[in-house]
A and B are shown apart, each in its own frame.
Chain A
Amino acid sequence: MNSGLDAHLVAGRENGFTVDVRLEVAPGHTAALLGPNGAGKSTVVSVLAGLMPLDAGQISLDGRALDDPARSLFVPPEERGIGVVFQDYVLFPHLTVSENVAFGLRSRKVPRHEAADRAAQWLERLGLAGMGDRKPRDLSGGQAQRVALARALIAEPLLLLLDEPLAALDATTRVELRRTLDDHLEHFAGPRLLITHDPTEAFLLADQVHVMEDGAVTQVGTADDIRLRPRTPYIADLAGSNLVEGTASNGIVATTTHDLHVGDTHIAGTVLATIHPRAISIHRHQPEGSPRNTWETAVIRIEHYGDRVRLQTGDPLALTAEITPNAVEALALVEGASVWVSIKATEIGVEAD
């Protein structure tokens, strides 16, 4: 039988459409389910965790069927072996950090002392040594996230389900924890499913991204597949942002091939620059004006999405730009054409990576 998660989830939601999603995640891989609020992401969490039954389809994990309405088979949540890091973490407020982490072991009749010892080991592994006696309300958002992770992992689940693990954090902490989360995920050998509304999170943490809209998956692919070749206008909007890694100093982000002028002159070190495709202007000749970033390049690809056109540009910095069909016509753009790109420095978002 297949190892990992193999699921076809069909479940009606109380108010509105039906969720119909296929998911396959191999052990050691992270899949992301990326979609806006109301796309049905929490329904996916509920049916996988066994908090809600499927209407049709099936869930199997490491070859074991967990839910199969056609065969009247339903494994209750406590017997599924799915570790869940819930949105807002849902730590038990009446238990200490240590008791929270040990909860899964205690539920499996592991003796109190052994459970406490193993909880302490996990806390130490996640950099929370000595915090076992605190109550969840005394933790910062980042600490609570790691406690939730420890609580889910200590029970040695077969699948790790992360529901918006970073949404409850402020922007600075989020960037910091995205990186540590990435490290922690590496240590979990089973399949990992990340549920998120944040494209950056999905692209950086997942090997494969499933984009979900109105209950259905509209595109599956690697981060690059989705960023560079978005299949629906929604994906283009949501995920089409250009991400550029570089080193910032004095208002310049240096990449391996090109230097970008950015609005933020204080940030320094390794950064992630985001440029929305609509912030990029395309010119036939060298432009003269306020935009600090201008360079000459070639049009690699032209794709039409209804009333918008996405252009992919080539060296020195591959970017996706979005313009109107009229502009394509007026500039007589074809694939291979030589053009000038311009971007205002203030249109480039920069955050520490």
Chain B
Amino acid sequence: MTDRAAEVRRKASRPPALVMVLALAGLAVFVVPLLGLLARTPWQDLPQLLTEDVVADALRLSLIASLGATAISTVIGVPLALVLARVDFPGRPIVRGLVLLPLVIPPVVGGAALLFALGRRGVIGAPLYEATGLVLPFSTWGVIIATTFVAMPFLVITVEGALRNLDPRFEGAAASLGAGRWTVLRRVTLPMIAPSLAAGLLLTWARALGEFGATITFAGNLQGRTQTLPLAVFVALESDRDTAVALSLIMVAISLTVLVVLRERWWRSG
């Protein structure tokens, strides 16, 4: 009886057949390229391919760059989101637009802009070089900066949205209980937006891992210094297809694992 009820309910909530067919087509968009990759994988040579220097270097750099960009985005992106959500200042719409810009402009353009600003002859880069001898382009820091530029908007917009949806009375209640601003932020505001913060961090990290255009433009493509996984794939496709496939597989495996595991945990509670 209960089984039957469950069965009926399941059928009643199922979308029409046409929707199911279109949904399958939608799924195919994601699955087909992955099948292509798996079909082309030289499974026997894989262990040896994965231990190549190029692969290890690229993996290490990709982890440094994506985690570094996520960390920097947390330290400066969350405060930016707080200001955008809570401080009413003239020009706020323009600042919001600026934050979203990296999502819209081609990463190559972003990389070029970074080069004009932070390059050795750039507006900020030149005085920086003269003062400290530091050269950002074509360095690992350059990779992190380019990646942050492209990925941080995801964190800022996710966190700002969550802050604007947070009932201000929670913070008011905390203040009326004697909590100063830092305490309110630490014990009420941030914990209450934690699911969105986690989702934003995940999106930021995912975008950072796949970053290509801004990095290659601003930081170049030097193995062991600026060549991340996507860059290494790009190069290997021209010369050594098997290595390209191996690199691609690594990215797919890391991304899929993280997305499935963390998404399940964080977004469900959000």
Contact = CB atoms under 8 A, between A and B. Distances in A.
Interface stretch (A88-96, A282-290, A305-313, A321-329): A88-96
Contact of B177 (A46, A51, A103): A103
Contacts of A92: 170, 173-174, 188, 192
B176 A50 contact: yes
A77 interface: yes
B172 A151 contact: no
Interface stretch (A6-14, A17-25, A78-86, A337-345): A78-86
Nearest to A163: B169
B179 A103 contact: yes
B191 A76 contact: no
A114 to B, nearest CB: 15
B179 A84 contact: no
A106 B183 CA distance: 10
A157 to B, nearest CB: 9
Contacts of B187: 103, 106-107
Contacts of A51: 172, 175-176
B167 interface: yes
B188 A78 contact: no
B178 A104 contact: yes
B42 interface: no
A77 B192 contact: no
B194 interface: yes
B44 to A, nearest CB: 51
Contact of B180 (A49, A93, A107): A107
Contact of B183 (A84, A90, A94, A107): A107
Given A86-B169, A92-B170, A80 B176 contact: yes
Given A93-B192, A94-B194, A107-B180, A76 B175 contact: yes
Contacts of B169: 86, 90
A84 B173 contact: yes
B183 A77 contact: no
A46 B170 CA distance: 13
A31 B47 CA distance: 79
A113 interface: no
A187 interface: no
A215 B188 CA distance: 32
Give the interface SS of chain B, mostly helix, strand, loop or mixed.
Answer: helix
Contacts of B175: 49-51, 76-78
Q: Which of A82, A93, A94 has the most CB of B within 10 A?
A: A94
A317 interface: no
Q: Which of B172, B187, B192 has the most CB of A within 10 A?
A: B172
A78 B191 contact: no
A155 interface: yes
Contacts of A84: 173, 176
A266 interface: no
A130 B25 CA distance: 54
B197 to A, nearest CB: 12
Nearest to A48: B176
A108 interface: yes
Contacts of A78: 175-180
Interface string A95-109: 100000001101110
Contacts of B172: 46, 49, 51, 77, 86, 90
A50 B175 CA distance: 9
B177 A94 contact: no
Given A86-B169, A107-B183, A94 B191 contact: yes
Contacts of B191: 94-95
Contacts of A46: 172
Interface of B: 167, 169-170, 172-180, 183, 187-188, 191-192, 194
Closest 4 A-B residue pairs measured CB to CB?
A: A104-B177, A77-B175, A107-B179, A107-B178
Given A103-B179, A155-B178, 17 more contacts: A51-B172, A77-B172, A78-B176, A79-B178, A83-B176, A86-B172, A90-B170, A92-B173, A92-B188, A93-B192, A94-B191, A95-B191, A103-B177, A104-B177, A107-B178, A107-B179, A108-B178
